[in-house]
């Protein structure tokens, strides 16, 4: 079966291989997804434990979800859709749902401009891509990715502080 996604407007995010590795700061969550599905299929998790998407996520999935060709791993009655949230400075703490095709690119450009003034990872913009089933409420985080290269952030010293404690 062909699991490749149709070229939706989120397809630009499909930049990882199927080996679950992180590429260019992208963190791929496919391995934990697979183990969760396995637990469900072995009967160790109930359906209501894996199909508990928040109403806001379900609304976003219905209104702004990017269609895929991937069948829902739980109910197998519907294809999952992708919903992207961006987290970053001056955005709501629960993130901002991407609702328009060019919005993610706009955030990328904003992140690029603000990187000059950024003082650490807290000031980075990060996108979270979630898959959700509109039929059974299955949901899982697929990928987290910085909207700019972390190396572009000025003054960030994530490891040096540890060394000074010695
Ligand atoms: Zn489903």
Domain range for 51: 24-164
| pLDDT (tens digit per residue) in 28-52 | 888 899 999 999 999 999 999 999 9
Residue 61 included in any domain? yes
User: Tell me: the pLDDT tens digits for 2-31?
Assistant: 334 333 444 444 443 344 445 567 788 888
- Residue 11 resides in a domain: no
Ligand 1 geometric centre to CA of 125 (Å): 30
DSSP string across 75-126: T-SSEEEEEEEEE-TTS-TT-EE--STTHHHHHHHHHHHHTTT--SGGG--E
Number of domains in the chain: 1
| Whole-number Cα distances in Å, 49 to 32, 46, 76, 128, 139 | 15, 5, 17, 21, 11
The H-or-E segment that residue 145 falls in is: strand 139-146
For all residues of the chain together, what is the average pLDDT? 78
> pLDDT confidence of 150, banded at 50, 70, 90?
low
Whole-number Å distance, alpha carbon 5 to ligand 1 midpoint, is 17
pLDDT value of residue 149: 65
Ligand 1 center from residue 61 Cα (angstroms): 12
pLDDT of residue 6: 37
Judge whether 51 lies within some domain. yes
- Output the pTM of the full model: 0.75
CA of 139 to the centre of ligand 1 (A): 9
When pLDDT is averaged across residues 55-65 and rounded to a whole number, the result is 94
């Amino acid at each position: 079966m062909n699991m490749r996604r149709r070229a939706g407007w989120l397809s630009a995010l499909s930049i990882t291989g199927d080996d679950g590795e992180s590429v260019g700061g992208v963190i791929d969550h496919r391995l934990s997804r697979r183990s969760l599905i396995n637990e469900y299929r072995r009967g160790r998790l109930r359906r209501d434990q894996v199909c508990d998407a928040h109403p806001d996520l379900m609304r976003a999935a219905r209104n702004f979800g990017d269609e895929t060709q991937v069948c829902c791993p739980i109910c197998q009655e519907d294809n999952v859709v992708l919903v992207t949230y961006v987290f970053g400075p001056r955005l709501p703490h629960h993130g901002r749902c991407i609702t328009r095709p060019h919005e993610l690119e706009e955030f990328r450009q904003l992140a690029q401009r603000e990187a000059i003034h950024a003082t650490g990872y807290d000031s980075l913009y990060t996108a979270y891509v979630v898959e959700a089933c509109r039929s059974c409420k299955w949901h899982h985080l697929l990928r987290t990715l910085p909207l700019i290269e972390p190396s572009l952030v000025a003054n960030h010293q994530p490891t040096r502080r540890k060394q000074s404690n010695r």
